[in-house]
Amino acid sequence: MNILYTLEQTVGQAKPYEIVVAILIVVISTAALFFLYRNVINHLRMERKERQAINKETKAIKEKKEFKLFSKNKIVTSSNLKDRINEDIKQTKEGDLRILYSIDIDDFRQLVEKYDQKTIDKITSEMDKRLNKFSDQKNISGHLEKDKFLYYYMGQVNNEVIAQLGDQLLSVVNEPLKVDDISVTASIGVVVFPYDGIDADGLLKNADLAVYVAKKEGKARYHLYSQDLIEKERFNISYYEEIKNAIDNEEFLLYYQPIVDVKTGKIIGLESLLRWQHPEMGILPPGKFLNVMDLTGDITWFGLWGFERVVKKYSDWLKEFRIRQLFISINLSPKQLYIDDLARKFYDLTSKYGMKPDNFAFEVLDYFSINKNHVAMTNLHEFRKYGFRVAIDDNGDNFELADHMQDVAANIYKIPRNDLLMVMDNDPLSEDIYRVVKAAKDNHKIVIAEGVENTEMIKKMSEWGVRFMQGFYFSQPVDVDTAKEMVRKSPWNMDTFDEYTK
């Protein structure tokens, strides 16, 4: 009562404009509180929707990653496939044996580069279904990750069963796919529990080593793990996995070494070289990784992968500035040349970026090791038909190249660095080397001297009528940006080498 009386008394004593101000304050405060309340409610609603969207997306990603993997009686996923194997191992009795087949699709990286994700998903899905169809109650099978599938056998184990299942699994994989008429093969590593591992991880680790050896021996086969492989191949397999991861992590870099015309000072070509920016060992040259890829046969898709990056980079340069006559050379190993229709694959890559084949040269390593192989020689002739340049630097054991120069499907002959060193040392074989050089010039081949390190070498090669050279005297292999600037404006001119070429 006293409070009401006080309020009434206060209002009664207030002036009219004070009452208006008070009312306005109350109205504004009420409105502010209303809008604040509405904003808080809207914010909470939005947060709830975002959480629902995130949960939905997370669930979708999880479902996508956990491919459905099949056994006869139940579906398993990639997240619990190893758990199922470990569960069976726990239930084994003394004397029980198990076989694990680790199945890797060959040249899977090449498929990923060539096809879209939808097609790749279809390929892995079809493989899954094939294993499911092949399965019975005595195994666990499924897609573990990427290009890897597992087949775990829980029946009676003996050498005959191991071989029989290996052959059957190869047949299952090798059947033509229903997806775009794609054919694939697989390399399989075989391990036996408990001799080669006492849990899923241990078995898989050793199975990976056996897979590596299967690939190294030619792919499309299985290889049984044995203890002696640890000493022989353990370093290589870990290195091999590092290399494959390096591609995903974009650790490979392009480097270039210029090929110079000493008469004009112009750069007529670049030899492209891959370098590996290893996270621990720094920049590594090709010799540190290409031999491992060559052993496993992965040099085929790796070569195509590297070539596409060379083509794309050249295409990017042409969009930035004008480039006159210039070719970029790429090394080809014998194993690459044994692949049917290889030339067409390279031609398709140049067409993809609107480039002309004569912008590129393929340097064939160990020509006389492949000159009797029909597929390899067909590829070389096809390269020339498509318009690519082809270079060789193999004279033969007895310098027989000089007598067969007119039959060689190459328009460039490169004098190897070792031959150049012999010439500079006045080695008795210098006459044979000169005979090869003369035969190349007589057959209108471009002759390039490799490994030029000083002005004396420039003088000697100039006396032999050789005007195109490369080597550390001109430049070490340089990164992309440095090479681009060299191509844009050559560091040399017509007068640079005058005193050495007269």
**Rounded to whole angstroms, how far apart are CA atoms 40 and 31?**
14
Cis, bond preceding 194 (omega within 30 deg of 0)? yes
Residue-wise pLDDT tens digits, 87-113: 998 888 877 889 999 999 988 877 887
- Has residue 334 got a pLDDT over 90? no
> For residue 88, which of 133, 132, 134, 139 has the smallest C-alpha distance?
139
Confidence of residue 299 (pLDDT cuts 50, 70, 90): confident
Please tell me the predicted confidence (pLDDT) of residue 483.
96
pLDDT for the residue numbered 271 = 96
Match 């019975």 to its residue by tokens: 136
Phi, psi of 320 (to 5 degrees): -90, -40
Whether 25 shows a pLDDT value over 60: the answer reads: yes
Per-residue pLDDT for 416 more than 70?
A: yes
Reported residue count of the chain is 502
Q: Which residues pair with 254 in a beta bridge?
A: 274
- Does residue 356 carry a pLDDT above 70? yes
Reply yes or no on whether the pLDDT at 8 is more than 80: no
Strands 468-469 and 446-449: parallel
Query: Does 125 or 459 have the greater pLDDT score?
Result: 459
Band the pLDDT of 62: cuts 50, 70, 90.
very low
DSSP-derived 3-state class of residue 421: helix
In whole angstroms, give the CA distance from residue 338 to residue 69: 36
- Percent residues over pLDDT 70 in the chain: 80
Per DSSP bridges, beta strands 252-261 and 266-278 are antiparallel
- Other C-beta atoms lying within 10 Å of the C-beta of residue 38: 10
Q: Which residue has the tokens 């390899």?
A: 376
pLDDT band with cut points at 50, 70 and 90 for residue 230: low
pLDDT at residue 51, as a whole number: 58
Burial 483-499, CB ≥16 within 10 A → b, else e: bbebbeebebeeebbee
CA distance 105 to 248: 17
Can you give the pLDDT at residue 65? 39
What span, in angstroms and rounded, lies between the C-alpha atoms of 343 and 384? Answer: 9
CA distances from 318 to 310, 312, 361 (A): 13, 10, 18
- Res 49 pLDDT > 80: no
How would residue 73 be classed by pLDDT, with cut points 50, 70 and 90? very low
pLDDT over 70 (residue 53): no
Does position 153 have pLDDT exceeding 90, yes or no?
Answer: yes
pLDDT tier, 2 (very low <50, low <70, confident <90, very high otherwise): very low
Work out the pLDDT band at 379, boundaries 50, 70, 90. very high
Q: Is the peptide bond preceding residue 334 cis, with omega within 30 degrees of 0?
A: no
Beta strands in 352-494 (DSSP E): 360-364, 389-392, 412-415, 446-449, 468-469, 478-479
Rounded to whole angstroms, the Cα distance separating 212 from 222 reads: 10
Torsion angle of C-alpha atoms 244, 246, 250, 253, degrees rounded to 10: -110
Strands, E assignment, 306-429: 327-332, 360-364, 389-392, 412-415
Distance, in Å, from the CA atom of 181 to the CA atom of 177, rounded to the nearest integer, reads 6
Nearest-CA neighbor of 190 among 128, 105, 131, 103?
103
Inform me whether the pLDDT recorded for 386 exceeds 80: yes
pLDDT value of residue 234: 57
From the CB of residue 114, how many other CB atoms can be counted at a distance below 10 Å? 15
**Arithmetic mean of pLDDT, 160-175:** 89
- The whole-angstrom separation of Cα 173 and Cα 194 is 27
pLDDT over 80 (residue 4): no
Phi, psi (degrees; rounded to nearest 5) at 390: -130, 135
Question: Residue 269's pLDDT is what?
Answer: 97
| Tens-digit pLDDT profile for residues 433-492 | 999 999 999 999 999 999 999 999 999 999 999 999 999 999 999 999 999 999 999 999
Residue 15 has pLDDT above 70, yes or no: no
Per-residue pLDDT at 13 exceeds 80: no
pLDDT of residue 145: 86
Rounded CA separation 208/454 (Å) = 48
The amino acid at 272: S
- Cα separation, 45 vs 418, in Å, equals 75
Mean pLDDT of the chain: 83
C-alpha closest to that of 346 among 395, 381, 311:
311
With a pLDDT cut of 90, the percent of the chain lying above it is 42
| DSSP structural state of residue 107 | T
Tokens 């003088």 found at? 459
Sign of the Cα torsion 247, 250, 251, 255 reads: positive
Q: How far apart are CA 242 and CA 245, in angstroms?
A: 5
| CA atoms of 194 and 177, how far apart (whole Å) | 35
Q: Which of 12-16, 160-164, 351-355 has the highest mean pLDDT?
A: 351-355
Q: Which residue has the higher pLDDT, 74 or 162?
A: 162
Dihedral (CA of 232, 237, 243, 246) sign: negative
Phi/psi of residue 111, nearest 5 degrees? -65, -40
Q: What is the mean pLDDT of residues 336-352?
A: 91
The predicted-structure confidence for 233-245, as pLDDT tens digits, reads as follows 555 666 677 877 8
Task: Show the tokens assigned to 441.
Answer: 């010039």
Phi, psi for residue 418 in degrees, rounded to 5: -65, -40
* Higher per-residue confidence, 216 vs 320: 320
